[in-house]
């Protein structure tokens, strides 16, 4: 069994110690989640393990043939390179063969009669047979397809940030290293891709160390959890849910010990103040214990710190947004078309859908950051908007943390009428006192986003427009935000790919399916998926079902009888499902027969995905009809 072992790792930045003599090991097939508030050094730890950053002291042991691949949070490629160059950038023999094979295939697609290219392809096929590289080729094709990477000759500079992240993810997954280091792999991924990545990593045969704010993702894939906290590393067996339970137990024990230490300290302090002279060895030892105890109390944080925020919001009337027949498109791409909707006070709305369907644009329309092509959005007179964008705006890097917050307000009121200062609010939002004088430019990316969010909340808005608020925020900050939103006396409209966040915060959805098709649904994300809902424009049956649910404001299962058309559908649906299942078997057999024909394999893979999608729709429809047929 291959084991990666780290002993006594220490890392400092100036006067700040990120981790102090931490030790851990990662065994083969373990999937470890790394948790901690932003700024504790999670990303730095991964960089050190990947050899991208140095450490002060460490002893690392592993086998000589141990391999590591690293996905950084912010990817950086040479913009002149092609997608193919970046995907197959490894020096391993098989990866080099795959790259050469892909290059020849691309060239032959342009010049299929070129005999020189045909000869090179034949030679490469012989080499791939010899190296048993076809399995790697098939696996690479699957990964690229699932990540939505189809054009290998495009330059990296022509891709969006999200597309570049997918290319980087494909690069680390294709090679199957002994240890995968993944820093926020779900950022910029849509729901479908995240779910595929979960399944892939659950079946990964080697080891994984992952940083992510996606708590469902952590729950579904991890077998252990590491927590970085105040320079220490704590280990827990189990996934995220187990971590929460065991951390609560640890903190309860720490609180008990903290209170015992305080009691003992008070007693020993009285003894010291009595003027005792350290004439005996016993007294000297007691004074030394007192000094150690004092240092421990000074350096440890008090347990059960109040980390919640409950800020008062500006008064808001009944009218918030009245959206009437709005239209917006970019060139030939429709975002919304003749869309009408009323957003009332205390609404909690989640905007979901695949990447590129216009979710962020819709939020910008509400925030008046984009102009409508036609239609009107009536905004209530008392509405005070805070717009949290994916890009941090107007943050002067030379400002100190406390000054940036004080630009918003020196002090603000809580819901209960009490007043809280900017400094107190910073501490509640996980910025301890020693960080208040830190310049913004020295903060980590996650700390900047946390500070940016706090500044917006300090303006005491009554409407929050949040565009991917969970990206780059740690799980502890997300918990604080969710608790705040539960008591927030106003409107929340959020774009998010975080399923956990959506389930906790929203109670209605706008599902953007592309081509200006928007579905309205009462419920959170899990309710929508469990109802047979989907994120695709071409799934007509589920869309009709969801629309019907919202029109009636009650679930379809309350219907007592099948209609005539539903009866006919019920009579034939079993045969249609069997036919689709047989088609899948035939395609899988054909794929095995053409493993060396990349072009044909690509066509068959696309057909396979289409049939799987149709089968899922039919199965959902079967469940729906079966419930009604029981009456």
Each residue's pLDDT tens digit, 427-478: 888 888 889 999 999 888 888 988 998 898 888 899 999 999 988 788 888 8
Task: Specify the higher pLDDT residue, 209 or 147.
Answer: 209
In a domain, 445, yes or no: yes
- Of 46-55, 305-314, 614-623, highest mean pLDDT: 46-55
In a domain, 401, yes or no: yes
- Under 8 Å between Cβ of 400 and 435: no
pLDDT band at 338 (very low <50, low <70, confident <90, very high): very high
Kindly state the tokens that stand for 461: 């808005």
pLDDT band at 110 (very low <50, low <70, confident <90, very high): confident
Assess whether 275 and 377 both reside in one domain: no
- The answer to whether the pTM exceeds 0.85 is no
Q: How many domains does the chain have?
A: 3
Which residue among 519, 534, 554 closes a domain? Answer: 554
Assess whether 461 and 608 both reside in one domain: no
Chain-centroid distance, C-alpha 407: 31
d(CA 609, CA 146): 10
Give me the mean pLDDT over the 43-50 stretch. 94
d(CA 72, CA 75): 6
Residue 560 has a pLDDT of 47
555-609 residue pLDDT tens: 443 444 666 667 777 778 877 887 887 787 787 777 767 656 666 766 777 787 7
Chain-centroid distance, C-alpha 98: 30
Assess whether 546 and 564 both reside in one domain: no
Sheet containing 57-61, strands listed edge to edge, beginning at the edge strand earlier in sequence = 16-27, 3-13, 57-61
According to DSSP, residue 373 is labeled S
Q: Is the pLDDT of residue 419 over 60?
A: yes
Task: Specify the higher pLDDT residue, 454 or 131.
Answer: 454
Residue 538 has a pLDDT of 44
Query: What average pLDDT does the chain have?
Result: 83
In a domain, 575, yes or no: yes
- Lowest mean pLDDT segment, chosen from 60-74, 260-274, 462-476: 260-274
Q: How far is CA 116 from CA 107, 124, 596, 599, in A?
A: 11, 12, 19, 19
Question: Residue 404 CB: number of other CB atoms within 10 A?
Answer: 21
Residue 30 has a pLDDT of 95
CATH number for the domain that contains residue 469? 3.40.50.300
Assess whether 248 and 342 both reside in one domain: no
Task: Report how far apart the first and last C-alpha atoms of the chain are (Å, whole number).
Answer: 56
Per DSSP, the three-state class of 262 is helix
Q: What percent of the chain has pLDDT over 70?
A: 85
Tokens 């020189």, residue located: 116
Task: Specify the higher pLDDT residue, 300 or 555.
Answer: 300
Assess whether 398 and 258 both reside in one domain: no
79-97 residue pLDDT tens: 888 888 888 888 778 888 8
- Of 26-30, 117-121, 127-131, 580-584, highest mean pLDDT: 26-30
- Lowest mean pLDDT segment, chosen from 336-350, 437-451, 513-527, 546-560: 546-560
Assess whether 255 and 349 both reside in one domain: no
In a domain, 281, yes or no: yes
Residue 47 has a pLDDT of 94
Question: Residue 279 CB: number of other CB atoms within 10 A?
Answer: 8
According to DSSP, residue 622 is labeled H
Task: Specify the higher pLDDT residue, 560 or 193.
Answer: 193
Alpha helices (H) along 300-444:
359-366, 401-406, 422-428
Q: Is the pLDDT of residue 544 over 70?
A: no
- Lowest mean pLDDT segment, chosen from 132-136, 258-262, 311-315, 486-490: 311-315
The residues that bridge with 378 in the sheet, in sequence order, are: 322
Give me the mean pLDDT over the 281-287 stretch. 65
Task: Specify the higher pLDDT residue, 283 or 485.
Answer: 485
pLDDT band at 64 (very low <50, low <70, confident <90, very high): very high
With 0-12 CB in 10 A as exposed, 13-18 as middle and 19+ as buried, what is 129? exposed
Residue 550 has a pLDDT of 44
- Under 8 Å between Cβ of 293 and 263: no
Q: Is the pLDDT of residue 322 over 90?
A: yes
Assess whether 624 and 574 both reside in one domain: yes
In a domain, 127, yes or no: no
Question: Residue 145 CB: number of other CB atoms within 10 A?
Answer: 17
Assess whether 475 and 550 both reside in one domain: yes
In a domain, 311, yes or no: no
In a domain, 90, yes or no: no
- Under 8 Å between Cβ of 390 and 517: no
Structural domain for 265, as ranges: 243-299
Task: Specify the higher pLDDT residue, 594 or 279.
Answer: 594
pLDDT band at 31 (very low <50, low <70, confident <90, very high): very high
In a domain, 350, yes or no: yes
Assess whether 434 and 511 both reside in one domain: yes
Which residue among 554, 586, 606 closes a domain? Answer: 554
Residue 491 has a pLDDT of 94
Nearest in space to 6 (alpha carbons), one of 69, 85, 59, 70? 59
Which residue among 492, 519, 554 closes a domain? Answer: 554
d(CA 21, CA 56): 10
213-230 residue pLDDT tens: 999 999 999 999 999 988
d(CA 149, CA 141): 9
Give me the mean pLDDT over the 111-116 stretch. 85
Assess whether 282 and 355 both reside in one domain: no
Assess whether 522 and 563 both reside in one domain: no
Q: Is the pLDDT of residue 104 over 90?
A: no
Assess whether 391 and 507 both reside in one domain: yes
Give me the mean pLDDT over the 310-328 stretch. 82
């Amino acid at each position: 069994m291959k084991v990666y072992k780290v002993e006594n790792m220490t890392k400092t930045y100036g006067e700040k110690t990120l981790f102090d003599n931490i030790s851990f090991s990662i065994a083969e097939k373990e999937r470890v989640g790394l948790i901690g508030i932003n700024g504790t050094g999670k990303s730095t730890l991964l960089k050190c393990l990947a050899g991208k950053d140095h450490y002060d002291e460490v002893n690392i042991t592993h086998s000589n043939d141990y391999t590591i691949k690293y996905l950084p949070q912010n990817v950086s490629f040479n913009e002149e390179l092609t997608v193919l160059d970046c995907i197959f950038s490894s020096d391993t023999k098989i990866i080099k063969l795959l790259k050469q094979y892909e290059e020849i295939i691309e060239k032959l697609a342009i010049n299929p009669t070129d005999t020189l290219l045909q000869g090179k392809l034949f030679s490469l096929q012989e080499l791939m047979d010899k190296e048993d590289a076809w399995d790697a080729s098939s696996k690479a094709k699957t990964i690229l397809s699932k990540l939505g990477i189809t054009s290998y000759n495009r330059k990296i500079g022509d891709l969006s940030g999200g597309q570049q992240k997918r290319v980087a993810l494909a690069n680390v997954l294709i090679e199957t290293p002994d240890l995968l280091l993944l820093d926020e792999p779900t950022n910029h991924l849509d729901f479908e891709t995240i779910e595929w990545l979960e399944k892939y990593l659950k079946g990964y045969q080697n080891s994984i160390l992952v940083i992510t704010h996606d708590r469902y993702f952590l729950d579904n894939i991890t077998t252990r959890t590491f927590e970085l906290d105040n320079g220490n590393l704590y280990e827990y067996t189990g996934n995220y849910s187990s971590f929460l339970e065991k951390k609560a137990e640890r903190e309860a024990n720490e609180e008990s010990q903290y209170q015992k230490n305080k009691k003992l300290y008070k007693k020993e302090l009285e003894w010291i103040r009595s003027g005792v002279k350290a004439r005996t060895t016993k007294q000297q030892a007691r004074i030394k214990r007192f000094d150690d105890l004092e240092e421990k109390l000074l350096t440890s944080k008090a347990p059960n710190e109040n980390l919640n925020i409950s800020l008062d919001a500006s008064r808001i009337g009944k009218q918030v947004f009245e959206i009437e027949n709005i239209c917006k498109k970019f060139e030939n791409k429709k975002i919304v078309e003749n869309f009408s909707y009323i957003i009332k006070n205390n609404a909690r709305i989640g905007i979901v859908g695949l990447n590129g369907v216009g979710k962020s644009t819709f939020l910008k329309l509400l925030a008046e950051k984009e102009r409508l092509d036609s239609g009107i959005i009536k905004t209530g007179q008392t509405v005070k908007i805070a717009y949290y964008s994916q890009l941090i705006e107007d943050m002067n890097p030379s400002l100190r943390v406390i000054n940036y917050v004080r630009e918003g307000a020196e002090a603000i009121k809580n819901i209960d009428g009490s007043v809280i200062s900017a400094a107190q609010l910073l501490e509640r939002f996980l910025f301890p006192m020693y960080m208040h004088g830190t310049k913004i430019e020295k903060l980590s990316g996650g700390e900047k986003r946390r500070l940016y969010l706090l500044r917006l909340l300090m303006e005491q808005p009554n409407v929050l427009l949040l565009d991917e608020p969970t990206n780059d925020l740690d799980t502890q900050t997300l918990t604080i935000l969710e608790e705040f939103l539960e008591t927030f006396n106003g409107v929340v409209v959020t774009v998010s790919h975080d399923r956990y966040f959506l389930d906790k915060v929203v109670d209605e959805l706008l599902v953007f399916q592309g081509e200006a098709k928007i579905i309205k649904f009462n419920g959170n994300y899990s309710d929508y998926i469990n109802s047979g809902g989907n994120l695709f424009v071409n799934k007509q049956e589920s869309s009709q079902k969801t629309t019907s649910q919202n029109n009636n404001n009650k679930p379809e299962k309350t219907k007592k009888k099948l209609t005539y058309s539903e009866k006919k559908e019920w009579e034939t649906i079993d045969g249609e499902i069997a036919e689709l299942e047989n088609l899948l078997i035939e395609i899988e057999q054909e794929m095995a027969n053409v493993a060396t024909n990349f072009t044909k394999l690509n066509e068959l893979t696309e057909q396979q995905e289409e049939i799987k999608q149709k089968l899922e729709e039919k199965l959902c429809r079967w469940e729906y009809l079966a419930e009604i047929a029981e009456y």
